[in-house]
Every structure is written in structure tokens, then in C-alpha cells.
Structure 1
Amino acid sequence: MYTMSSDDFTMHTSDCDAVGGGMPVSSLPDEVTSLDDLDCECWGAFDSFDEIE
């Protein structure tokens, strides 16, 4: 479901075009506590974590 960019270790959705090279991960890092912690525009399609998980 999630992809971590190998360039800057940012988190993205699995279908994000901006991620470039990356590796799939099963969960978001513990330090992500809100959608505001996720920098990429790919998260803008979600209103809450409930929609993601």
C-alpha cells in the first residue's frame, strides 16, 4: 500500500508518479501521526487515515 522513496525516504501511495525509485513498505513510520506529516500531493486524495488503511 505504501512506497518509500529511495531518494529522500519520503512516503507515498503505491501508485504515486512522484515517488520515482522506491520500495514497498507495509506501514507508515511511527512518526507519522497525521496526513499533514506526509509531504507528497498523492495523499491529498484522502481525508483521514481510515481511508488509507
Structure 2
Amino acid sequence: MYTMSSDDFSVHQQDCDEAGSGIPITSLPDEVTSLDDLPCSCWDEVDSFDELD
């Protein structure tokens, strides 16, 4: 599960502090086609989308 920030609609990992009081989402938006589309540092530890499944 992921969290979409209610401030700027950015997507974060569930336990990310930068997401604030965001909205829980079960999958990444269709607009996210690479890890480069996820600017938060919480994604730095992920090397590929395969690790997210």
C-alpha cells in the first residue's frame, strides 16, 4: 500500500513521514511509469518496480 500526499498529490511509501496526512492508495497511479516519477527520498531504497510487488 502507498500514500498519496494531500498537499501535492505526490506518491510515497506507506511509512514515509513526508506524506503527512495523505490518502492511502493500493496501487501506483498510471502516470507513474518509472521510479524517476517518484521524487521523494523514500523511494531511494527501491531499485526496481519488481521490488514493490
For Structure 1 versus Structure 2, the TM-score category normalised by the shorter chain is over 0.9
Runs of 4+ in 1 over 4 A off after TM superposition: none
Q: TM-score, normalised by structure 1?
A: 0.94
- The normalised TM-score by structure 2 is 0.94
Shift of 1:52: 1.0
Coordinate RMSD, CA, aligned: 0.6
Can you give the 5+ residue segments of structure 1 that lack an aligned partner in the other structure?
Answer: none
Structure 2 runs not aligned, ≥5 long: none
Identity of aligned residues (%): 68
Aligned length: 53
